[in-house]
Each structure stands twice: as C-alpha cells, then as structure tokens.
Structure 1
Amino acid sequence: MNIAVFSDSKQIASSFTHLQEKKGFTLSVYPCDTLKSRIKELEKSVFIYVDLSLYEEGERVRTLRYLAGRKGLHYGIVDPKGAIKDVALLFFSGASDYIGKELLREGMSTARMKKALLTVQKQLVETKDRALTPVSSALIPSGKSWKEIKSGKEYTFSLMFIELDHHGEFRKNLGEDLINAVTSSFKKLVEKRMVMDGGRIWIWNDFGGLILFPFDGVECAAVLSCFRLMLNRKLIHAEELPCRVPFSFRIVLHIGNTVYRQKGKTGTLVSDSINSIYHLGKKFARPGNFYITKEVFRYIPEKLKPYFLSAGEYEGFAVLRMKLPL
C-alpha cells in the first residue's frame, strides 16, 4: 500500500523514509500546505499521515475537521508534541492511526507500519462484506438508571450521536464569538433535554458529541428523546438560540457495548460501537435527519415503528430514517 506523509519537519519525514527500503511500501513526502491540493488524487489509494507539529491550535482544529469530513479517506495523525488531549476522538472521527511523541522517539518499525496498514485493509473488506452482529448476542444491560453503572466496566448503552450541520456556513458567516454563543446554547439545550430522560453527555467536541443512555435490554427509551427533539427543532430555534442562524442538526441512535468511564476520562478509550456511531454520524447521516440502526428498531415502542423507513446500509449496518413532518 502507498503511504503519503504531509510534514514540514525533516525529522518527522526521516522517521518514515526507511520504509522505502522495505518491500510492500511506497512512500511519498509532501509539504503540509499541499494537503488540500493533493488529497483528491491520493485519498482513494493512499494511506495519509498528517504531521500537526507546526500547526497553531486553530489551524490544527480546522485540519482535523477537514480530514474527518473526507468520505473514504484513510489517514493517521502524527503528533510529536502531544497536542491532542483526547486521542479517542480522533478514531471516533475516522482516523485509523495515531503516532505520538513516544512512538516517534522509539522509531517507526516495519512491523508497526504493517499492522496499521493491515487494519486499514481490514476496514475496507469489512465495509464491503461485514454483516451486523446482533447486539442481543452480547448484551450487558446497564439497567434503567445510572445507579448500578461503575467506571471501568463494560455495559450495553443506547448511544446517541448529535451534531449541528453546516459548519462551513457558520465559520464563513458568523464571528467567533457568535459561533461560541450558538454552540454553547446548543450544548446546554441538548444536555437539559437529555438529562430529563436519563441521558448524559459523555463526549463533546465543538459542534456536537455523544450522549449515553442506560439500556435495560428490554426497550430503547432514548428513541423518545430523539423523536421529541426532532419534532421540536423549529421551536428550539425560535426560543433558545441567541440569533437567527441556519439551524439544523442530525442524530444517530445505536445500541452497543463500551467500557464506561467518567466524562473527561475517555482519552484512551476505543470501542467498535463508538467508532461505528461516529462514522454513521459523520459520514452517512444527512443534515436535518434522525437515524436509528436496525438494532435500535428492534427495541423501540411498537407505535413508533411506522414512523421509520429504510435508509440503506453503511459499513454493514442496516439503517432507518425517521419520517419528518413538512
């Protein structure tokens, strides 16, 4: 597999160049400022590493968002200064590898690189061939409330992804202070409504995040929270946001297993279920819509089932979309 490294650091580039001598690797190194101009020709057949060491915080955030938004892109992050505080978020947003300062200090081994590339190739195969394993075969019900849930243990949760749409328009038409006001208000209203129904914001990053709901193995009550939020979105826009800006959000609801850790302590947490819902939310869900996986559909109230229709499949997951009123 071909590898492209975007870096302005000779030291970083040299960490990869020895791979050119090994069979099975073709390596190219490019300046960071050519990333966007070259990415279209590279993304379908090349694994890309992006070095963040010379980026200021704002540019680093924008670059990560750009990479996360490229459908079909397989990429890794090189972070020699340890600037990324929550590495798990990178994987949830679509990254396939992370190389930090300790690994760079030790040196990139051929075995390590082969493992990373095999993971990418496996993801490509799974996207085409994988069938969704019913969660019921591995249920670890977390109960109806948070009382029995302990940090460090694995449970089955209702996992809700929610994110504001149209990031580009926000950044183009609104100042930083107004963007902060809108995103802050959005987070508060989501938290207020989800807490009422037993949900907790677990991971939040800029325009959205992940909410956990306890799941008792009998019914996915979280679907009612999402349903109400979609039906009331116009009232929310009128009553609770600080200005008249384009307001749209998308939601994905899934049932899956993860080790529970307290909010703010999820930095090294990697879970197939969490990765999957982030991929669905970031790369499949269309603006202004609410989606559920087939697993969720099995556990929602019977009266709600007629309000969902098939939306196809993504990475082996059968997905349904809520019918929206005009």
Structure 2
Amino acid sequence: MKKAKKLLQDLLSRSLNTEQIHYVGREVDPSFDLAEVSGFGDHIVIPRQVAAQCVIQYFSARDKLRDFIAKLIMLEGYGGSGGIIKLKGIEPILNELRESGFVLDREKGAFVRDQAQSKTQDWGFMREGQEYRLAFASLDIVGSSELVRTNVKVDVETTIRTLRDFVGSHVEFNNGRIWFWYGDGGMAAFIGDSCVQSAVMSCLGILAYLPVYNITRNALREESDIRLRIGVHYGSVEYHGDTSKMHSEDMERASRLEDRYGVPNSIMLSETAYNLLPDELRKYFQGAGSADFGSLYQSLTI
C-alpha cells in the first residue's frame, strides 16, 4: 500500500480541499475529527496537504484506508461539506489496489478481494468478528461407515477427495463456498440477496449429476454408489478467518435437517429457507412434517 498511499496523498492534495477531506473521513468514521487528529485545533486553518497526511495515517492505523478510498470514489460527483467532489488521478490508485488483489464492488461500496484471481472463504469482503446472514447447506454421505468397511482404504480416500471436488464445483458455480469438509460430508455457505436460491440450485445440481459422478469418478466397488443427504437453512453466523471457530445455532439447524430428517438423494429445507425461495423453485418441494424450528419441505427425490 506504500505506493497507493503516496498516490492518494497527491490526489487529495490536488482534488479536495480541507473541508472535503474532513467530510469524507467522517463519512467513513463518524468519530473522525481532523482538528483533533492534526493537533491544529478548531481555530487554525489546516493546509490540505496536512489534512491529506492526517486522514491517510488515521485510516491506515485502523486498517480502513481501502474503506476511505472506496467512500471517496462513491462520493465523486456529489456535493457535501466543501463542495462537489471531483477526483483527478484515481486510476493509478485503482491499478495499485488491483495489483494487490482488490477490486471495487460498487454495489457494496467497498473494495473486495478479486474472486476471479482466487476464491476466498470470505468472498473477499467479510470482516473478522462481524455477523452475516447466509444460507447453509449441510451435506452427508449416506452409510459412510459401511462404505469404509466394505471398500479398500485407498479407494475410499480417492472417492472422498473427488467427491469434495465434485461438490465444490457446483457450490462455487453458484457463488458458494465450502466452509467445512469432514471426510463424509461438509457445510457449504452462500451469501447475498438470493443466497437460498443459490444454495438450492447448487444442491439440485449436485443431486442431478450424482449418477454421472458415480459412473465416472466413484472409485469404490460397483455396488457402492455415493448417496447424499442435504439440509438447507437460512440464518446468521459470526465470521472468523479460522473456520473451525465458526459455529451458530442456524448452522446447527442445517446439520440437524440433514442428519435427523434427511432422505437419501433429497434436499430438506427449513421453513425459513423455503419462504425465501421464488415460486419456480418452491414447486419442486413438498411438505415433510416439522421440526422444533418450523415446518420442513422435501425436494422430489432424484
């Protein structure tokens, strides 16, 4: 970020006055006080070069400099304290951030890690310790203990590995991420306004292509087809970069849907997840009793 900071210093000094710099800073952090941070006090005019240095140091120390740059870009063309913001020379800064693996997501108004380069568990924008709403899909291999007992160890290990890749390809195609994989199953997460739809589409794809997987990639004995139970629920979790620390009641409910109520090669939805589906997907599910957290809905068995 060293070069980006220098470019930002030049841009702020040339494009914004002191009032505008202070205004953008407070839009990012309402507690930001340029007079206090600079040490000039309330009654002395702060040169724009000093204001630029102060705002860069302040947000760098709090790991929020990318947030400041994003807000600066989003405010371009709009008026605030100090007049309409017009930026001169923002592209070199964007190029520097792009080289570091960050791109601006205008919908979120923030810089996120470029998922085209490398898909990350946090979709490039999740913050440590913050709570997010997601769809969770818990998947489990039916009769895994019997498969282990009746097949050669190396074949079991090969099949588990290729199954994880097979599931992962469908999950990531629908903008999901596999957060856990235990050997005989795992937990996938999906985020966004249509996250439940993405989760269900992913799971339907997994089940639809599972026979093809069994024919072409399953290394177990011919009679040992892989079958899956799947549970999908919508809820929240506090994000941690160390996924082993992530746990929530809603993630547990997804696991319980699969474990207690799941049917082989079928998807079990919670009432919460079902209600968030569009009509064209709801028609592929039917009522299947209830749990202590609401009604259940099962997909037509594939």
TM-score w.r.t. length of structure 2: 0.55
Q: Is the 8 A contact 1:204 1:210 kept in 2?
A: yes
Aligned to 2:207: 230
Aligned to 1:323: 300
Judged with a 3 Å threshold, the aligned counterparts in structure 2 of structure 1 residues 221 and 193 are, in CA distance, closer, same or farther, namely closer
Aligned to 1:19: none
Map Cα deviations across residues 144-186 of structure 1 (whole Å, 9 max, x no partner): x924322321000010111111113212211221211111111
Letter in 2 for 1:248: R
- Distance in 2 between the 1:311 and 1:215 partners? 27
Q: Does 1:309 align with 2:286?
A: yes
Which consecutive unaligned segments of at least 5 residues does structure 2 have? 1-121
Aligned to 2:239: 260
Q: 2:277 aligns with which of 272, 297, 300?
A: 300
Q: Is the 8 A contact 2:156 2:219 kept in 1?
A: no
Judged with a 3 Å threshold, the aligned counterparts in structure 2 of structure 1 residues 194 and 172 are, in CA distance, closer, same or farther, namely same
Aligned to 2:62: none
Percentage of identical aligned residues: 19
Q: What is the CA-CA distance between 1:219 and the residue it aligns to? A: 6.0
Aligned to 2:219: 242
Which consecutive unaligned segments of at least 5 residues does structure 1 have? 1-144
Judged with a 3 Å threshold, the aligned counterparts in structure 2 of structure 1 residues 179 and 279 are, in CA distance, closer, same or farther, namely same
Q: What is the CA-CA distance between 1:286 and the residue it aligns to? A: 2.4
Q: Does 1:273 align with 2:270?
A: no
Q: What is the CA-CA distance between 1:242 and the residue it aligns to? A: 2.5
Q: Does 1:175 align with 2:144?
A: no
- Distance in 2 between the 1:169 and 1:219 partners? 32
Letter in 2 for 1:234: P
3-state secondary structure, aligned to 1:251: strand
Q: Does 1:194 align with 2:171?
A: yes
3-state secondary structure, aligned to 1:202: strand
Map Cα deviations across residues 101-122 of structure 1 (whole Å, 9 max, x no partner): xxxxxxxxxxxxxxxxxxxxxx
Aligned to 1:134: none
Aligned length: 180
3-state secondary structure, aligned to 1:177: helix
- State the superposition RMSD in angstroms: 2.1
Stretches (4+) displaced over 4 A: none
TM-score w.r.t. length of structure 1: 0.51
1:283-298 equivalent positions in 2, closer than 5 A: 283-298=260-275
- Distance in 1 between the 2:277 and 2:217 partners? 29
The structure, 1 or 2, with the larger RCO (C-alpha pairs under 8 Å, 6+ apart) is 1
3-state secondary structure, aligned to 1:146: coil
Map Cα deviations across residues 56-102 of structure 1 (whole Å, 9 max, x no partner): xxxxxxxxxxxxxxxxxxxxxxxxxxxxxxxxxxxxxxxxxxxxxxx
Aligned to 2:192: 215
- Distance in 2 between the 1:294 and 1:277 partners? 11
Q: What is the CA-CA distance between 1:217 and the residue it aligns to? A: 6.4
